[in-house]
């Protein structure tokens, strides 16, 4: 078995098991989860099998990969430095290890991914997500969800399937659903299959009762519409009309615009707490991952922001980074994710391969939804979800690099 085949096997295991194994434990501050377990194996094998060839890493010739790598190293160094002033130092280590996993997995995928294992990898990932979607329906029918809200659908809790939380699951659906929407438009032969899968995911998306994911889904459709399929814009009002026909869904949707709504007012207070934390530590922040551990201090200082809990997340990935790593760490964070988005856009604009173009377009739709959703949740810090934003982008971009090598007659990396 070749080096590539060995790594491919674990890549397939990673793509299959991570979505359906919501394991999240910590042993002495070190995160133990499906993504960390399989990701670590991939990285260890990658180092062992390819260490002697490091000097031949041709991908550093690519400007975007070079910039992403440099910015990521700076971010990691900044994060490590925050240990010196962080209240909780173990969480700094944990958060830094997690981000390091993302960038190293990205680099590993860029190096060993080829056409064959990329295609099989997407198939495996699709199968895993379909299993999650079917499980989501079962969870709803049997009323097994522990997430009860003031607004329920048919008296049942919000669906989260295998993703721990309905907010995470809604974002995960947006990660995959656009592939099938584009396939429905492009593939005349498999319309029934594509429609069935889209309906399965849409039902799950609705059952999460996650407003951020609903609006994120609409933003993804707008991205697709503006870049390629203008007629899709007409489907948005129709879809909203169907949603508001059901009273509980209508109430949930309308509550988005009610600032007196409990969830909305809580988020505003959490965001203000994050802003105050950033204002007091503009240059350095309070330490990576330490918003949670400085929260009690701030609600004691500003009792009007108290939500009755001693720990609370900021529910905004961008504000979280500015509060925890200051202005420089926050900007580095935004630039890093901006490069990931631009990689997909570059592939979409320049590839001559139609399937790859559609794959990049689906990724761009997801990124539109994902970037929006991170204004309302810390999704960029949910490994079971965020790791795929990195890995799928790496696979798409590597396929683009392979295309360039083949066009120039240079082979592949």
300-327 per-position pLDDT tens digit: 999 998 888 888 889 999 999 999 999 9
Instruction: Label residue 188 by pLDDT band (50, 70, 90).
Output: confident
* Whether the predicted pLDDT of 375 surpasses 70: yes
E strand or H helix at 359, and its extent?
helix 354-373
- pLDDT value at residue 74: 96
Element (H, E) at 401: helix 383-407
Using CA atoms, how far residue 14 sits from 116, 172, 196, 376, in Å, is 16, 16, 26, 28
Rounded CA separation 360/354 (Å): 10
Tokens of 138: 């079962």
pLDDT on residue 25 = 62
In this predicted structure, the answer to whether residue 332 has a pLDDT above a threshold of 80 is: yes
pLDDT at 30 over 60: no
How far is the C-alpha of 283 from the C-alpha of 386, rounded, in Å? Answer: 26
Q: How far is CA 400 from the centre of its chain?
A: 21
Greatest mean pLDDT range, 14-18, 49-53, 155-159, 253-257? 14-18
Environment class of 343 (CB within 10 Å of its CB; exposed 0-12, middle 13-18, buried 19+): buried
Q: State the burial class of residue 130 (Cβ atoms within 10 Å of its Cβ: 0-12, 13-18, 19+).
A: middle
User: Is the confidence at residue 231, as pLDDT, over 50?
Assistant: yes
Q: What is the pLDDT of residues 380-397, one digit of tens each?
A: 999 899 999 999 999 999
Q: Tell me how far apart the alpha carbons of residues 267 and 311 are, in angstroms, rounded to a whole number.
A: 14
Instruction: Please state, for a pLDDT cut of 70, what percent of the chain lies above it.
Output: 85
What does the pLDDT read at residue 411?
Answer: 40
What local confidence, expressed as pLDDT, does residue 53 receive? 66
**What gap in Å lies between CA 166 and CA 28, rounded to an integer?**
28
Please name which of 100, 54, 46 lies closest in space to residue 74, comparing C-alpha atoms.
100
Cα separation, 83 vs 76, whole angstroms: 11
Query: Are the CB atoms for 59 and 251 separated by under 8 Å?
Result: no
Residue 259 has pLDDT above 60, yes or no: no
- Look at residue 247 and tell me whether its pLDDT is greater than 70: no
pLDDT at residue 362, as a whole number: 96
Residue 55 has pLDDT above 70, yes or no: no
Q: Which is more confidently placed, 290 or 56?
A: 290
Mean pLDDT for the chain overall: 87
């Amino acid at each position: 078995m070749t080096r590539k085949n060995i790594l491919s096997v674990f890549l397939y295991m990673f793509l299959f098991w991570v979505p359906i194994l919501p394991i999240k434990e910590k042993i002495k501050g070190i995160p133990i989860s499906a993504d960390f377990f399989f990701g670590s194996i991939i990285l260890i094998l990658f180092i062992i099998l390819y260490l002697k060839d490091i000097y031949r890493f041709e991908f550093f010739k690519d400007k975007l990969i070079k910039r992403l790598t440099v910015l990521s190293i700076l971010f990691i160094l900044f994060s490590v430095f925050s240990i010196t002033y962080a209240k909780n130092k173990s969480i700094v280590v944990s958060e830094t290890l997690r981000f390091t996993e993302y960038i190293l997995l990205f680099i590993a995928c860029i190096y060993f991914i080829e056409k064959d294992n990329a295609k099989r990898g997407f198939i495996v990932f699709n199968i895993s997500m379909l299993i999650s979607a079917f499980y989501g329906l079962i969870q709803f029918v049997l009323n097994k969800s522990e997430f009860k809200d003031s607004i329920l659908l048919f008296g049942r809790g919000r669906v989260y399937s295998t993703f721990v939380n309905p907010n995470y699951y809604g974002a995960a659906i947006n990660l995959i659903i656009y592939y099938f929407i584009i396939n429905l438009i492009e593939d005349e032969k498999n319309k029934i299959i594509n429609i069935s899968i889209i309906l399965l995911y849409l039902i799950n998306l609705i059952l999460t009762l996650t407003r951020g994911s609903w609006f994120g889904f609409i933003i993804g459709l707008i991205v697709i519409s503006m870049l390629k399929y203008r007629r899709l814009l007409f489907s948005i009002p129709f879809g909203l009309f169907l949603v508001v026909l059901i009273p509980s869904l209508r109430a949930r949707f309308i509550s988005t615009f009610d600032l007196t709504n409990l969830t909305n007012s809580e988020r505003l207070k959490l965001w203000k707490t994050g802003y105050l934390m950033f204002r007091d530590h503009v240059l350095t922040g309070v330490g990576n991952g330490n918003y949670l551990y400085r929260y009690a201090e701030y609600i004691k200082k500003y009792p009007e922001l108290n939500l009755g809990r001693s720990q609370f997340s900021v529910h905004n990935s961008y504000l979280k980074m500015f509060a925890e790593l200051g202005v420089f760490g926050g900007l580095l964070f935004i630039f890093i994710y901006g490069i990931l988005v631009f990689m997909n856009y570059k592939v979409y604009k320049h590839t001559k391969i139609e399937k790859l173009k559609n794959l990049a377009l689906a990724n761009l739709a997801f990124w539109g939804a994902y970037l929006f959703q991170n204004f309302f949740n810390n999704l960029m810090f949910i490994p079971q979800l965020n790791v795929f934003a990195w890995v799928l982008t790496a696979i798409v971009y590597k396929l683009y690099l392979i295309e360039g090598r083949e066009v120039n007659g240079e082979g592949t990396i």
